[in-house]
């Protein structure tokens, strides 16, 4: 069964450092998403991406965040200067983009900022 793959599974970084979270969406999917979930809390939308550009972004997705699809397969989320409050699970999801299809989520990256 096709799946969305995220790496690393766990990343520990010092405050102020840059991190890049990686996702490999399902190959024929067209829409990609990043969400974050602070432990035990709501799943928060960060950004959606289609046709090599940002489709929608939330108020959380400020200038510290960026996304790109550098090579047609990977989909990355970069946080330029991490803060303690960026500690969370980050989930990538992808969807084909047609009706009657489900969104598939990766297993997540647990980011810990110390």
Partner 1 sequence: ELKVEQNPLFLSMQEGKNYTIYCNYSTTSDRLYWYRQDPGKSLESLFVLLSNGAVKQEGRLMASLDTKARLSTLHITAAVHDLSATYFCAVDRDNDMRFGAGTRLTVKP
Residues that bind partner 1 (CB under 8 A): 31, 33, 35, 42-45, 48, 50, 55-56, 91, 93, 95, 97, 99-108
Q: Can you read off the two tokens belonging to residue 91?
A: 């989930």
Q: Which is nearer to partner 1, 12 or 43 (CB)?
A: 43
Task: Give the shortest CB-82-to-partner 1 separation in angstroms.
Answer: 22
Q: Can you read off the two tokens belonging to residue 2?
A: 């096709």
Q: Which is nearer to partner 1, 14 or 52 (CB)?
A: 52
Task: Give the shortest CB-6-to-partner 1 separation in angstroms.
Answer: 9
Q: Which is nearer to partner 1, 9 or 73 (CB)?
A: 9
């Amino acid at each position: 069964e096709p799946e969305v793959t995220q790496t690393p599974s766990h990343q520990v970084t010092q405050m102020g450092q840059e991190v890049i979270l990686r996702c490999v969406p399902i190959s024929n999917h067209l829409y990609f998403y990043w969400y974050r979930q602070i432990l035990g809390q709501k799943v928060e939308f960060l950004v959606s991406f289609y046709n090599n550009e940002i489709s929608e972004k939330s108020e959380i997705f400020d200038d510290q965040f960026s996304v790109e699809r550098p090579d047609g397969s990977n989909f990355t989320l970069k946080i330029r200067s991490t803060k303690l409050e960026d500690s969370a699970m980050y989930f990538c999801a992808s969807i084909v983009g047609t009706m009657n299809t489900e969104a598939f989520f990766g297993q997540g990256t647990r980011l810990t900022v110390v």
